[in-house]
Structure 1
Amino acid sequence: MINRLIACSFLLLCAGLAQAQSLIPAPPQLAATAYLLLDAHTGQVLVEQNADKKIPPASLTKMMTAYIVSEEIEKGSVKEQDKVRISEKAWRKGGSKMFVKVGDMVPVIDLLRGVIIQSGNDASIALAEHVSGSEEVFAEVMNQQAELLGMQDTHFVNATGWPADGHLTTARDLGVLARALIADHPHHYSIYSEKYFSWAGINQPNRNRLLWRDPAVDGIKTGHTEEAGYCLVASAVKRGMRLIAVVVGTDSDEKRAGETQKLLAYGFRYYQTHKVYGKNDVLQTERVWGGKKPEVGIAVEKDVFVTIPRGGEESIKADLIIDGELEAPLEKGQPVGKVVVTLDGETVADVKAVVAEDVEEAGFFKRLWDAIKRFVMGFFS
């Protein structure tokens, strides 16, 4: 059927959006190879520089290692308390360590903390071998997962971020991965905010300095090699807005923290996340032909967020578009159209419109009567 535009173009000014124009300065210029700032709820990029430049990710690689382990735990293939035998390869690996020993039997959840908090190369390899049999096969899984997440310019060779030919990603792809970590595995994401983890009598601090400097920061991961420089993917929450900052290629531990703070401060100062609709919010009711109920509510299939300038003069317009007339039977959640949200004429969200409740088919005579009315109304329209 021909789409018809329902007259429900809501001008959403009630949330303080129609305010005096707010001046937004140019974003900060960082001393980094590449950087990106995005709204975790909407995915909207607020600041970017060289975001698609391919760079070695160093230990930021371990974000994907941890993500896959969390996926396996959620699927039931691996359990948090499963014991992992530490191989000689894992034990011998240089760089940052959890300090496990050959032959140790270590619970998966402790190794996961060793990866996230201590950035342990030994813990990363041990988990890779436990999940996939070898680090090389695990790297294939990492690449498959990257493709599923939409990380279009990423290729992994190992589970640690150890320098290797072809082991590359981008700031944009790291932002995609960070959003997935937070959204898909919130239980394990809380580990990224833990400041210390002890193993073998060695208490190591989380290398993310911002966990001590800013109470709004709750993750995510640092990285460093000579080629990659000092890198940090950080996330913070203020006033209901979660931002993700990706900063790669700075020249010191202090610089990566300070430059990341600049990005986060800019985003929180000048932007806000606005919830336009909640999942299953009924936008309006629509006539149903041939149903036991004469009409049904139309809702959105998921929460709808948009990113707007803080205090700016904004107008958000939402158009509900129904794909023709509705006929019973209808099932709750059945798509019947879409809601298009625009900001200053630009589409910022496009979500399915769904039926808010079941509508059963009416009896024969009710259906016949509706068919007659529908014919008459169509004839005179």
Structure 2
Amino acid sequence: MKKTPSVISSYKKPLFVISAVLLLSFTVTVFVRAYTLRRPLPQEPLSQSQKQSLEAVLNQAYPERTAVLRPLPYPVNPAVLDVRARSAIAVNMQNGCVLYEKNADEIIPPASMTKLFVMYVVFEEIKKGTVSLKDTVPLPPESWACNMPPHSSLMFLGKNQIVTLEELLTGLAVCSGNDAAYAVADYICGEMEAFIGRMNAAAEKLGLTKTHFVESSGYSEKNTTTSREMAAFARHYVDTFPETLSLFHSRLSYTYPQEHNLAPEDRGKPRAQDFSQGIPEHITMGIYQKNTNPLLGTLDGCNGLKTGYIDESGYNLALTITRGSTCILSVTMGGPGNSVQEGNAGRIHDGTEIMEWAFAAFREYENPALFREYSVPLVFAKAQRINLVPAYAPKTLSVPVTAAQNPSQAEKEVEVSVELPESIKGRVTAGLEYGRITYSINGRILQTIPLVAERTEKKANAWLCAADFFAQLALLF
């Protein structure tokens, strides 16, 4: 049967209405997409799960993110220094870059540098709230000075003395007291074996495969490390607990015991004692000791860190120097010397040689471009913008003065170039590189850091893809 014009008209009207609605809807979508492309709305902050996912992806793709130490990001000629220790390394504390090294992977006993691990374990417990610096620590006989092995460095702990955890840490940092190391181990874990387990666990967590301990004082030659691994740990220790420098490691001297430390039965007695026949159980005489670090108070900016010596190790020194906003760490191990005087002369020579060179050879450039997001338009994607973030963000960049026209202000000659795409088309994957930041000085590239997507965005459906096509055309006019 042939359809009449009225029937055909009844079909056309709804089709026309539907087409008009679709066209209007599409036009609105095009204008909305064009508007938001020109005036983007800020993205919602990443959720906790998105942050964790991005961290996991970036940590796997960019080992620089988690490395405690790293090479300089540009080639340099190795420095030729007059360093007399068998092994040495210098590290920028802000960015972890190795500035200088000499036989840095040779295994050598750390000696009393071991006590840095002791202090780290203690501060971990303080952070947890399980102990406090003001805690009074009982002293087992194993920690008394009279029971320490021959030639031990001592804080001079004695029977029934009253001592706080803070005072023991001072005795560790300033006097390098083996007795204090035993007292701390007993207080924190109840026994030496358990405490040594904590120290070794800290080394293992940092990936220090050549560092191992059998006791907490550093007296044993079976404790092992390298200058590279000790530098990695020292950087982590100071970065995690920066207050230790001012509270303990920069202290010039310490007198112990003081009146309030004396055992109750020893108070009121004459303080003077004769140690010519050996160290007694009860120690009443206050013994003044300078910090074992010979560069404290003599080398500009010295504020730490720890010495070490046994016959098998030679003279060791972990040294920190802060000048302005720059902090350099050096570790020298196996230093020469037939006496404490000769050993300290070697420490002073090597420490000064390395530090003065490092501060003269590099300038510190802070990276403001690394602490922001870069918003880029998306096309043919469900979202319309994506934030690009640095794959990793070192706090500073060590700038070689030899590359600068004005060496004294080398950091001011650094140029920053940010490369961003005009837009990204289709699906975006979290952690993938879509741009980069380049740091250079006088045409020499110092470092290039990838800019990666902070989240995954799906490709748009056909409707939005078509709208984006026309939105882009609209923005051209």
Of residues 99, 107, 120, the one that matches 2:177 is 120
Of residues 356, 362, 367, the one that matches 1:271 is 362
| 1:279–1:109 distance in 2 versus 1, CA, 3 Å | farther
Give, as a single letter, the amino acid of the residue that structure 1 aligns with 2:148. Answer: K
What is the aligned partner in structure 2 of residue 305 from structure 1? 396
Contact 1:278 1:303 in 2 (8 A): no
Contact 2:106 2:226 in 1 (8 A): yes
Where does 1:53-92 land on structure 2 (aligned, <5 Å)?
Answer: 53-91=106-144, 92=147
d(CA) in 2 for partners of 1:39 and 1:73?
27
Residue 258 of structure 1 and its aligned partner are, at CA, apart by: 1.5
Percent identity of the aligned residues? 26
d(CA) in 1 for partners of 2:387 and 2:158?
61
What is the aligned partner in structure 1 of residue 208 from structure 2? 151
What is the aligned partner in structure 1 of residue 31 from structure 2? none
Of residues 83, 90, 99, the one that matches 1:37 is 90
Contact 1:39 1:273 in 2 (8 A): no
Residue 373 of structure 1 and its aligned partner are, at CA, apart by: 2.6
Of residues 268, 282, 286, the one that matches 2:376 is 286
What is the aligned partner in structure 2 of residue 93 from structure 1? 148
Where does 1:1-381 land on structure 2 (aligned, <5 Å)?
Answer: 26-91=79-144, 92-94=147-149, 95-165=152-222, 167-190=223-246, 191-200=248-257, 201-250=286-335, 251=337, 252-277=343-368, 280-282=371-373, 284-287=374-377, 295=385, 298-300=388-390, 302-313=393-404, 339=436, 348=447, 350=449, 353=452, 372-374=466-468
Residue 54 of structure 1 and its aligned partner are, at CA, apart by: 0.2
**TM-score of the aligned structures, taking structure 2 as reference length:** 0.63
- Worse-matched range after superposition: 94-103 or 43-52: 94-103
Residue 155 of structure 1 and its aligned partner are, at CA, apart by: 0.8
Residue 27 of structure 1 and its aligned partner are, at CA, apart by: 2.7
Contact 2:214 2:220 in 1 (8 A): no
Give, as a single letter, the amino acid of the residue that structure 2 aligns with 1:93. Answer: M
Q: With CA pairs under 8 Å and 6+ residues apart, which has the higher RCO, 1 or 2?
A: 1
Contact 1:24 1:270 in 2 (8 A): no
Listed one character per residue, the Cα deviations across residues 223-282 of structure 1 (whole Å, up to 9, x for unaligned) are 111111111110112242211111111221111121111000111111122222366334
Superposition CA RMSD, Å:
3.6
Contact 2:82 2:353 in 1 (8 A): no
Partner of 1:123, secondary structure, is helix
Partner of 2:403, secondary structure, is coil
| 1:161–1:324 distance in 2 versus 1, CA, 3 Å | farther
Residue 298 of structure 1 and its aligned partner are, at CA, apart by: 4.3
d(CA) in 1 for partners of 2:221 and 2:141?
20
Give, as a single letter, the amino acid of the residue that structure 1 aligns with 2:307. Answer: T
Give, as a single letter, the amino acid of the residue that structure 2 aligns with 1:209. Answer: P
Listed one character per residue, the Cα deviations across residues 59-87 of structure 1 (whole Å, up to 9, x for unaligned) are 01111111111111112122111221111
Residue 56 of structure 1 and its aligned partner are, at CA, apart by: 0.7
- How many residue pairs are counted as aligned between the two chains? 342
Contact 2:89 2:102 in 1 (8 A): yes
Give, as a single letter, the amino acid of the residue that structure 2 aligns with 1:214. Answer: L
Give, as a single letter, the amino acid of the residue that structure 1 aligns with 2:294. Answer: R
- Worse-matched range after superposition: 98-107 or 151-160: 98-107
User: Of the two, which has the highest radius of gyration?
Assistant: 2
- Worse-matched range after superposition: 231-240 or 309-318: 309-318
| 1:350–1:24 distance in 2 versus 1, CA, 3 Å | closer
d(CA) in 2 for partners of 1:139 and 1:352?
42
d(CA) in 2 for partners of 1:249 and 1:229?
4
d(CA) in 2 for partners of 1:97 and 1:34?
27
Listed one character per residue, the Cα deviations across residues 76-112 of structure 1 (whole Å, up to 9, x for unaligned) are 1221112211111111223111112233342111111
d(CA) in 1 for partners of 2:369 and 2:467?
35
Partner of 1:110, secondary structure, is helix
